[in-house]
Structure 1
Amino acid sequence: MLSLKLALCLILSLILSSHAEVFGLDGVTDFSPEEFDATIDGTHTKNWVVAFVAPWCGHCKTLKPVWSEVGVAIAATGQDDKVGLALVDADEHRDFGIKYDVTGFPTIKMFKAGSTEAEPYNGPRDVDGVVKFLNDEFGTNIFIKKAPKSVVELDEDSFDGVALDSTKNVLVEFYAPWCGHCKNLAPVYEKVAKAYRNEGNCVIAAIDASTHKSIGSRYEVTGFPALKFFGAGTTEPEDYSTGRDADSFVKFMNEKCGVDRTIDGKLGATAGIIEEFNSFVGSYNAGDSISELVEKVAQSAKDHAEPAAQLYAKIFNKIKEKGSAYIEKEKARLTKMIADGKAKADKLDMFTQKYNILSALTGTSEPVVPAAGKEEL
């Protein structure tokens, strides 16, 4: 009985292994030879671009998400009556691959509307490149809807104006579109850039150094991705050599920019605190005359470079007007406004800085945590 079960399992395994892989990608058609012949039969009215692939092929695995993203875009832009993307497992169906001169994987062929003749596809294999090729070749109007990027994209014309700006601290990634490590870094790098988008002096940037080779050569970039930090007031960068996780980037940029951001872009408990104003806070806690402190704080804040200095002046003036009870009442009000997540980003920053200053006046430094899930403010 046991041997019979084992035999059945082996037979089932052989049957399953003999089937071509079904890729199941959104926006992409899986063709068996029979389905291919039934669809591309000479009477078809749309153009087909077919990738002959093998399940084990590394380059094929790289192509699949590109094929899917473009395929979804074709449907989303209403161009799926003009062009379609497909995959054929030519490792399983080797005779079918030989029929179309497939000698390596992936091999991509075009079958134009009304024709069963295969034409070689020699176009790009990245998303934007494939879209442009299809639009040029078939007169389609495919486009990719992309979310706005927080990473500042540089080129040869804009590089010096951003990276060498004496007022800004700039982290630059030198990348190449085909680089696997660069692709892995991209979502982390974008998340970090989003965290600092409200910091005017703290910039997360990138440049395609495989295209803008003169910039890569100037900074001796020999591999990708290369990360270099251009500090405010300097023209010579330092290599970024710490971790490539989001927390490491944030720690590095906070130290370099003199700010206190969290990975979600919110301000930390020290944001807004100005060290030279600590003496005024100490004097208040020691019971010094509030009237005298209001004048001293106002004078110090008058020409101070930090915007938060004006918050100190306003807070001390309010305490003079409304008494010390103002501090806890205002903290409660700010806590509610920050936590409901409805404030715009710049207002949220100001509320958080004000909250931190008020907390310093009561001898506490606990951060107020904004509501979760409120990324767009």
Structure 2
Amino acid sequence: MTRFASFFAAALAVVGSAAASAVIDLTPDNFDSVVLKSGKPALVEFFAPWCGHCKTLAPIYEELATAFESSKDKVVIAKVDADEHKDLGRKFGVQGFPTLKWFDGKSKDPIDYSSGRDLESLSAFITEKTGIKTKTKRADKSHVEMLTDTTFKQAVGADKNVLVAFTAPWCGHCKTLAPTWEKLANDFAYEPNVTIAKVDCEAPNAKAVAKAAGVSSYPTIKFYPKGSSEPIDYSGGRAQAELISYINDKTGTHRIVGGGLDAIAGTIPALDKLVGSLKSGGAAAYTELEKATVGLQDKYAEYYNKVAKKAQDNAQYVEKELARLQSLLKKGGLSPEKLDDLTSRSNILSIFSKDETVSPKEEL
């Protein structure tokens, strides 16, 4: 009796789970009434239970149906097991799984859906066809640049360093990498010379570039230096910190996990050495620092001069200014650009602070 009760409870759980699905299951008995004669447009997935790609799509398709559930009187999200119901698959020319077809609610002849199999692409397609918008919360904008055969040529070899992940929607390792890749893109979102990109190698509009890049496994990560279309294969770890370190080494950036800057961002090694001699070098050391900044392309070169001049007039300037900037940083609420600027200036002030005081400039 106990075993029967357990079995019965399990059966109820399965039935309850099936009933909770927002995706309509189609069979030869209800296909016409639900899809062809209802007058409502319908997106239909033809799948097979053993199909790996179908299993990958399943939770996304369920989420899609849930997103449009409040408009189920206007649009149908359905699926049919075309392995079990082969006649339905043959009737609509299904040759592989999963196959997605759009029925407009008027014609019996559907059109194939050939865009991305992610929630955003599927939702956008239905909205485009019906004008119906989902009730789901809009996801935060991704800083990962999706490249196609066309945009890849525009992005690579230009004025930015580009790190590209070549992926496939069914790839388990790619799914594991995805959230890390998003975080990585966020970390470098405000670096003007760095792009974090991705190529969906199975998307119809990106297969050519994947083939040209010689991609044979997923994910494959390649780095394209600024001004070069010749990639460098990345074979390091896939942790966020490891990827950040790689980009910093290749591009001269100073990012850390979370998108902030490290303790040497903004500093200029050649000038740092001269700062160390200001305490005992007097006017000659100051003049040497001033000359060294001339012609430097670094945006913070002149800031070294400014700090040196103020510190020579006021021995407490460095400590007070450093404390002021650090207070602003702790307070928060700064734009990313301002945060980077204050961090870089604080790093430079810290170089001066190591010597505590700078000797007053000698009168000539």
- Aligned twin of 1:242: 236
Q: Secondary structure at the match of 1:134?
A: helix
Alignment CA distance shift 1:194-1:45 (3 Å)? same
Alignment CA distance shift 1:345-1:213 (3 Å)? same
- 1:174–1:207: 8 Å Cα contact kept in structure 2? yes
User: Which ranges of 4 or more aligned residues in structure 1 deviate by more than 6 Å?
Assistant: 24-27, 30-33, 39-45, 50-57, 97-114, 118-121
How many residue pairs align between the two structures?
Answer: 339
CA distance in 2, matches of 1:302, 1:218: 45
Map 1:211-360 onto structure 2 (within 5 A). 211-232=205-226, 234-284=228-278, 286-289=279-282, 292-321=284-313, 323-360=314-351
CA distance in 1, matches of 2:97, 2:10: 20
- Aligned twin of 2:11: 18
Map 1:138-177 onto structure 2 (within 5 A). 139-142=130-133, 145-165=138-158, 167-177=159-169
CA distance in 2, matches of 1:158, 1:299: 44
Alignment CA distance shift 1:362-1:24 (3 Å)? farther
5+ residue gaps, structure 1: 1-6, 91-96, 365-377
CA distance in 1, matches of 2:210, 2:54: 30
Alignment CA distance shift 1:107-1:345 (3 Å)? closer
- 1:175–1:226: 8 Å Cα contact kept in structure 2? yes
- 2:35–2:42: 8 Å Cα contact kept in structure 1? no
Q: Residues 170-228 of structure 1, C-alpha deviation per residue, up to 9 Å, x if partnerless?
A: 21222334444333322211211111122222222223344333323332222232211
Alignment CA distance shift 1:99-1:349 (3 Å)? closer
- 2:275–2:289: 8 Å Cα contact kept in structure 1? no
- The yes-or-no answer on 1:82 pairing with 2:74 is yes
Quote the offset at 1:320 in angstroms: 2.7
- 2:25–2:79: 8 Å Cα contact kept in structure 1? yes
Alignment CA distance shift 1:100-1:209 (3 Å)? closer
RMSD after superposition: 4.2
- 1:40–1:111: 8 Å Cα contact kept in structure 2? no
The one-letter code of the counterpart of 1:140 is G
Q: Residues 291-343 of structure 1, C-alpha deviation per residue, up to 9 Å, x if partnerless?
A: 5554433332232122121221222122134x221112112111121122211
TM-score computed with the length of structure 1 as normaliser: 0.72
- Aligned twin of 1:368: none
CA distance in 2, matches of 1:123, 1:197: 32
The one-letter code of the counterpart of 1:12 is A
Q: Aligned match of 2:56 in 57, 62, 69? A: 62
CA distance in 2, matches of 1:87, 1:220: 36
- The yes-or-no answer on 1:200 pairing with 2:192 is yes
CA distance in 1, matches of 2:257, 2:316: 34
- 1:27–1:69: 8 Å Cα contact kept in structure 2? no
TM-score computed with the length of structure 2 as normaliser: 0.74
Q: Secondary structure at the match of 1:173?
A: strand
CA distance in 2, matches of 1:327, 1:264: 28
Alignment CA distance shift 1:228-1:51 (3 Å)? closer
The one-letter code of the counterpart of 2:354 is G
- 1:54–1:60: 8 Å Cα contact kept in structure 2? yes
- 1:21–1:55: 8 Å Cα contact kept in structure 2? no
- 1:48–1:83: 8 Å Cα contact kept in structure 2? yes
Quote the offset at 1:43 in angstroms: 10
Q: Residues 23-58 of structure 1, C-alpha deviation per residue, up to 9 Å, x if partnerless?
A: 48999368899xx99x96999785565769899975
Alignment CA distance shift 1:109-1:206 (3 Å)? closer
- 1:294–1:320: 8 Å Cα contact kept in structure 2? no
Q: Secondary structure at the match of 1:312?
A: helix
5+ residue gaps, structure 2: 91-95, 356-364
CA distance in 2, matches of 1:131, 1:203: 27
Quote the offset at 1:254 in angstroms: 1.2
